[in-house]
């Protein structure tokens, strides 16, 4: 079922070329939705909610009573799990918080950088085949730590007009300010432009389907966005010390997300390669989401044989995975060699699911090779940096000629004159 490819040849690049999942171009449809919401506001959003989600809403906003009822519904045990996970996520992300700085070591000159949180952030939480309370925690908590004063969440309702209890409970634990029962491109448009009921935000974060991703692309520039998230992926580096049962379980854990998800094992052990392939087949039979996982493994799964673990790291860096597990005898030895990965999981007892739910680092990660240049969602995503400059008269006089020369070199005489006119003799 899963392909085993020999990547030990000198030229192994062909085996790691990233697959291009077939994507339909929905930009025209999404552009129409955005323009309609921009023009007609709430009425357009309600119409699309009825058309796409099959529910006619009289009020889009979730009430405090609904949130409290959801907390009660999920039960004390799951609420405790949410609180524990939230505590870990807060502890990790608090370490990311930065302060501004001031440089004032030259007479008459003060330079600095000021950190300001965004005023309003929008969080999109998908519906689809599975609810994701974890996404609520991962997206909202860094925004809170950054100091964002207003956090708006949108998520599509079920046909009963309600939001999943786990999602609402997570929103309550995270301290989200407002929640609206809308999804899809219409939700992104509402957050970007505002409606009579939904405030305009400064930034939109969170994953979604192709309509959501396309909408985020189209509103970028009107608002900021985190990233364009594609199908999720995992790559596992394993040596002979790895347990094939563990490796197979972790690959299947990723595959059950979506038929387009990608699970790759890179190993220098033919025994591990073959045993993992067998384990995938055996474990697959017992999965409730077997059909999704099987399609993912069949179309996007791969086992690649490497010359050694360092060669495996080279292959991993070329693929630039979202999640990278290092299941080797000494994973920390390889850590300095890893250049491209969204989140790294070190050791045989550190499955990717720990990062999805509980450990603390963010699980909103760059997908489809974009870890070459994107980073996980963080506190930095919810701040702005402004620089500031102050020169005294004497300090300006000391550099005036150099600035004038630079400005005239660029042919901008008015720029030069703004310096000249301030010289001491004037």
Q: Is 11 helix (H, G, I), strand (E, B) or coil?
A: coil
The reported pLDDT for the residue numbered 229 is 82
Alpha-helical segments (H) within 285-392: 290-300, 309-319, 331-334, 352-357
Burial of 305 (0-12, 13-18, 19+ CB in 10 A): buried
Average pLDDT over every residue of 130-158: 95
| Percent with pLDDT over 90 in the chain | 88
Say if residue 335's pLDDT is above 50.
Answer: yes
Q: Supply 143's token pair.
A: 């925004």
Q: Supply 289's token pair.
A: 């989401």
Tens digit of each residue's pLDDT (9 = 90 or more) over 89-112: 999 999 999 999 999 999 999 999
DSSP state for residue 105 in the 8-state scheme: E
Which superfamily does 27-225 belong to? Nitrogenase molybdenum iron protein domain (3.40.50.1980)
Domain ranges of the chain: 3-21+231-360, 27-225, 392-426
Say if residue 324's pLDDT is above 70.
Answer: yes
Contact criterion met (CB below 8 Å) for 109 and 392: yes
The reported pLDDT for the residue numbered 77 is 97
Tens digit of each residue's pLDDT (9 = 90 or more) over 394-411: 999 999 999 999 999 999
Write the Ramachandran bin of 244: left for phi over 0, alpha for psi from -120 to 50, otherwise beta.
alpha
Work out whether strand 101-106 and strand 109-117 pair parallel, antiparallel, or are unpaired. antiparallel
Tens digit of each residue's pLDDT (9 = 90 or more) over 3-40: 888 888 755 555 554 555 455 789 999 999 999 999 99
Query: In whole angstroms, what is the distance from residue 63 CA to residue 45 CA?
Result: 19
The reported pLDDT for the residue numbered 385 is 97
What is the DSSP secondary-structure string of 154-179?
E----TTS---HHHHHHHHHHT-SEE
In 3D, which of 94, 91, 64 has the Cα closest to residue 175?
64
Angle at 123 between CA 118 and CA 129, to 5 degrees: 165
Tens digit of each residue's pLDDT (9 = 90 or more) over 156-185: 999 999 999 999 999 999 999 999 999 999
| Percent with pLDDT over 70 in the chain | 95
Main-chain dihedrals φ then ψ at residue 234, nearest 5 degrees: -140, 145
| pLDDT class of 129 with cuts at 50, 70, 90 | low
342 or 128: whose pLDDT is higher? 342
The reported pLDDT for the residue numbered 23 is 59
The reported pLDDT for the residue numbered 7 is 86
How many residues in total does the chain contain? 426
Lowest-confidence pick of 29-43, 96-110, 116-130, 137-151: 116-130
The beta strand positions in 255-299, using DSSP E, are: 262-267
| pLDDT class of 423 with cuts at 50, 70, 90 | confident
Query: In whole angstroms, what is the distance from residue 395 CA to residue 237 CA?
Result: 57
The reported pLDDT for the residue numbered 21 is 47
| pLDDT class of 361 with cuts at 50, 70, 90 | very high
Active site residues per annotation: 322-323
In 3D, which of 276, 261, 351 has the Cα closest to residue 2?
276
- pTM recorded for the entire structure: 0.93
Tens digit of each residue's pLDDT (9 = 90 or more) over 281-320: 999 999 999 999 999 999 999 999 999 999 999 999 999 9
Domain 3-21+231-360 matching CATH 3.30.70.360: the answer reads no
The reported pLDDT for the residue numbered 311 is 96
Average pLDDT, the chain: 94
The reported pLDDT for the residue numbered 181 is 97
Shared fold status for 3-21+231-360 and 27-225:
yes
């Amino acid at each position: 079922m899963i392909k085993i490819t020999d990547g030990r040849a000198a030229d192994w690049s062909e085996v790691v070329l990233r697959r291009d999942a077939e994507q339909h171009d929905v930009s025209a449809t999404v552009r129409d939705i955005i323009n309609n919401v921009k023009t007609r506001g709430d009425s357009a959003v309600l119409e699309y909610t009825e058309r796409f989600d099959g529910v006619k809403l009289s009020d889009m906003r979730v009430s405090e009573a609904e949130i409290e009822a959801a907390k009660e519904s999920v039960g004390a045990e799951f609420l405790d799990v949410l609180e524990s996970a939230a505590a870990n996520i807060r502890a990790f992300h608090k370490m990311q918080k930065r302060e501004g700085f001031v440089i004032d070591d030259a007479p008459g000159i003060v330079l600095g950088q000021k950190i300001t949180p965004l005023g309003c952030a929008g969080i999109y939480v998908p519906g689809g085949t599975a609810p994701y309370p974890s996404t609520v925690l991962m997206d909202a908590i860094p925004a809170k730590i950054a100091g964002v004063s207003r956090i708006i969440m949108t998520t599509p309702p079920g046909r009963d007009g309600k939001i999943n209890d786990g999602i609402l409970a997570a929103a309550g634990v995270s301290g989200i300010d407002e929640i609206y029962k809308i999804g899809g491109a219409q939700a992104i448009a509402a957050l970007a432009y505002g409606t009579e009921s939904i405030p305009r935000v400064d930034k939109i974060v969170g994953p979604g389907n192709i309509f959501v991703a396309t909408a985020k692309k189209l509103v970028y520039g009107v608002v900021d966005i985190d990233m364009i998230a594609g199908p999720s992926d995992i790559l596992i580096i394993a040596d002979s010390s790895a347990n094939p049962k563990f490796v197979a379980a972790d690959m299947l854990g990723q595959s059950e997300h979506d038929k387009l998800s990608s699970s790759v094992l890179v190993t220098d052990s033919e025994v591990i390669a073959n045993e993992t392939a067998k384990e995938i087949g055996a474990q697959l039979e017992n999965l409730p989401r077997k059909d999704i996982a099987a399609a993912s493994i069949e179309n996007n799964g791969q086992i690649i044989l490497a010359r050694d673990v360092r060669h495996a790291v080279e292959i991993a860096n070329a693929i630039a995975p979202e999640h990278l597990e290092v299941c080797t005898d000494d994973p920390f030895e390889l850590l300095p060699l890893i250049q491209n990965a969204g989140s790294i999981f070190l050791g045989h007892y550190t499955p990717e699911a720990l990062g999805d739910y509980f450990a603390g680092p963010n699980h909103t990660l760059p997908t489809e090779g974009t870890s070459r240049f994107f980073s996980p969602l963080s506190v930095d995503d919810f701040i702005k940096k402004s620089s500031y400059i102050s020169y005294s008269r004497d300090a300006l006089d000391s550099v005036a000629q150099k600035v004038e020369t630079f400005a005239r070199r660029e042919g901008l005489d008015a720029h030069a004159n703004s310096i000249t006119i301030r010289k001491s003799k004037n």
